């Protein structure tokens, strides 16, 4: 039986509260100090998981105790050293595939530096996340009667793996793609790569200036968290009827904005339902039984026995991998879910959008 491991970090203080009730008694400043000093540790084990194709795996979930804001503030080598310690725990448990979740998979050139230091196959889950985002945005556009051929798409965090896959996936399908990211060199490389595809889509290098395009974009994709981007997506400046795919934690679009703007639709974009025989029993801030795409991709690769080569690492777009992992997800019984704040969109009152 193949074993996998998945490395995750607490997004925020609320995450810590969810897993350790007694932490509520301590001041937040103290919790931040303790979290940073703690070594990685295993929090959950999932045994005898079975896919729809009949494959069986075991998995370990390992916390790398750093809050998202701490990861962004620390020197990268310090973060990588802690992630590698978490990966070592997975190795000792027998894991042949190790997934790096959320910001764990962004550090070190999108997991490449970690992959160089472990015999386990590494994945960040960006391929399945990209597949889920592209599919759910198609469903959202169809539901809201958005003509994609005339639509403008803004990708915030365009230079990471998910952002690049989404940009490539929208070529020749939409009118304009705005690329937003902080790293000017990588942004220029991405624009050059996309222009070389000779598509009819307009590619606009917007840098970090989200406020300049937020009023124009029909679709907005956030691949990077509210910690990293300016607070430009306010209730008053989002385009009427905008569809926002907001995958990170902390979120960029709060529920309060949706309450003020009934015309917009915020979708999660990277939520997956595993088969009934592969339920993890892990507490997550989404609907019970659902998991994140990065977790699902790790499990799918283990089910498939793909333990020799790294899968989703680095920042280069690769729609062949996106298509492959989507096919493997279907084979093993994993379904992409269409949700908003963890709730299936089908359950949301569609009369809210009737005035558009």
- Per the prediction, the chain carries an average pLDDT of 90
Residues 292 and 348 in one domain: no
Cα separation, 220 vs 89, whole angstroms: 38
Going through 40-197 in order, the beta strands assigned E by DSSP cover 41-50, 56-63, 95-100, 121-123, 152-156, 176-180
Q: What is the pLDDT of residue 230?
A: 54
pTM of the entire predicted model:
0.92
Residues 132 and 252 in one domain: yes
Phi, psi (degrees; rounded to nearest 5) at 164: -70, -40
Please say whether the dihedral angle defined by the alpha carbons of residues 103, 109, 111 and 114, taken in this order, is positive or negative: negative
Residues 84 and 208 in one domain: no
145-190: per-residue pLDDT in tens? 999 999 999 999 999 999 999 999 999 999 999 999 988 899 999 9
230-261: per-residue pLDDT in tens? 555 566 788 999 999 998 766 788 888 888 88
Residues 51 and 137 in one domain: no
* Mean pLDDT across 299-318: 96
Residues 332 and 348 in one domain: no
Residues 283 and 315 in one domain: yes
Residues 155 and 232 in one domain: yes
Coil, helix or strand for 122? Answer: strand
Phi, psi (degrees; rounded to nearest 5) at 35: -60, -45
How many domains are there within the chain? 2
Q: Which residues of 3-14 are buried (b: 16+ CB within 10 A; e: fewer)?
A: bbbbbbbbbbbe
Is 324's pLDDT higher than 50?
Answer: yes
Of 1-5, 202-206, 207-211, 222-226, give the range with the top mean pLDDT.
Answer: 1-5
Q: Tell the burial category of 93 from Cβ atoms under 10 Å away from its Cβ (0-12, 13-18, 19+).
A: middle
Residues 330 and 209 in one domain: no
Query: Above pLDDT 70, what percent of the chain?
Result: 93
Q: What is the pLDDT of residue 232?
A: 55
Q: What is the pLDDT of residue 334?
A: 98
CATH code of residue 152: 3.40.50.720
Residues 276 and 333 in one domain: yes
Q: Tell the burial category of 17 from Cβ atoms under 10 Å away from its Cβ (0-12, 13-18, 19+).
A: middle
137 or 21, greater pLDDT: 137
Q: What is the pLDDT of residue 302?
A: 98
Three-state SS annotation for 13-58: HHHHHHHCHHHHHCCHHHHHHHHHHCCCEEEEEEEEEECCCCCEEE
* Mean pLDDT across 104-128: 96
Is 336's pLDDT higher than 50?
Answer: yes
Phi, psi (degrees; rounded to nearest 5) at 162: -65, -45
Residues 206 and 348 in one domain: yes
Please say whether the dihedral angle defined by the alpha carbons of residues 269, 303, 116 and 9, taken in this order, is positive or negative: positive
User: H/E element holding 6?
Assistant: strand 2-8
3-7, 178-182, 232-236, 298-302: segment of lowest average pLDDT: 232-236
267-293: per-residue pLDDT in tens? 998 999 999 999 999 888 788 899 999
Q: What is the pLDDT of residue 229?
A: 54
The residue segments making up the domain with residue 108 are 2-126+271-338
Is 342's pLDDT higher than 60?
Answer: yes
Residues 14 and 153 in one domain: no
198-213: per-residue pLDDT in tens? 999 999 997 767 877 8
Residues 260 and 203 in one domain: yes
């Amino acid at each position: 039986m193949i074993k996998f491991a998945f490395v995750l970090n607490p997004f925020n203080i609320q995450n810590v509260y969810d897993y350790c009730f007694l932490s509520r008694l301590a001041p937040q400043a103290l919790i931040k100090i303790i979290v940073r000093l703690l070594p990685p540790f295993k929090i959950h084990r999932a045994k005898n998981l079975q896919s729809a194709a009949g494959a069986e795996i075991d998995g370990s979930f390992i916390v790398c105790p750093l809050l998202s804001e701490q990861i962004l503030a620390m020197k990268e080598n310090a973060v990588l050293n802690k992630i590698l310690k978490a990966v070592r725990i997975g190795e000792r448990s027998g894991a042949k595939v190790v997934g790096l979740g959320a910001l764990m998979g962004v550090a070190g050139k999108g997991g490449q530096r970690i992959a160089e230091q472990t015999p386990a196959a590494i994945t960040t889950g960006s391929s399945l996340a990209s597949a889920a985002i592209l599919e759910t945005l198609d469903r959202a556009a169809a539901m809201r009667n958005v003509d994609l051929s005339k639509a403008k798409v803004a990708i915030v965090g365009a230079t990471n793996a998910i952002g690049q896959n989404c940009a490539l996936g929208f070529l020749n399908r939409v009118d304009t793609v705005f690329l937003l990211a902080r790293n000017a060199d990588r942004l220029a490389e991405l624009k050059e790569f996309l222009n070389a595809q000779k598509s009819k889509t307009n590619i606009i290098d917007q840098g970090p200036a989200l406020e300049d395009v937020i009023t124009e974009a029909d679709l907005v994709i956030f691949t990077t968290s509210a910690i990293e981007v300016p607070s430009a997506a306010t209730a008053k400046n989002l385009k009427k009827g905008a569809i926002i795919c907001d995958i990170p934690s902390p979120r960029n679009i709060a529920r309060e904005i949706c309450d003020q703007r009934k015309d917009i639709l915020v979708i999660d974009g990277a939520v997956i339902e595993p088969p009934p025989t592969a339920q993890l029993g892990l507490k997550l801030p989404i609907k019970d039984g659902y998991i994140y795409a990065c977790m699902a991709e790790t499990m799918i690769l283990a089910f498939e026995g793909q333990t020799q080569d790294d899968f989703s690492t680095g920042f280069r777009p690769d729609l062949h991998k996106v298509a492959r992992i989507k096919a493997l997800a279907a084979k093993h019984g994993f379904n992409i879910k269409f949700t908003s704040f963890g709730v299936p969109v089908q359950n949301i009152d569609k009369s809210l959008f009737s005035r558009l």
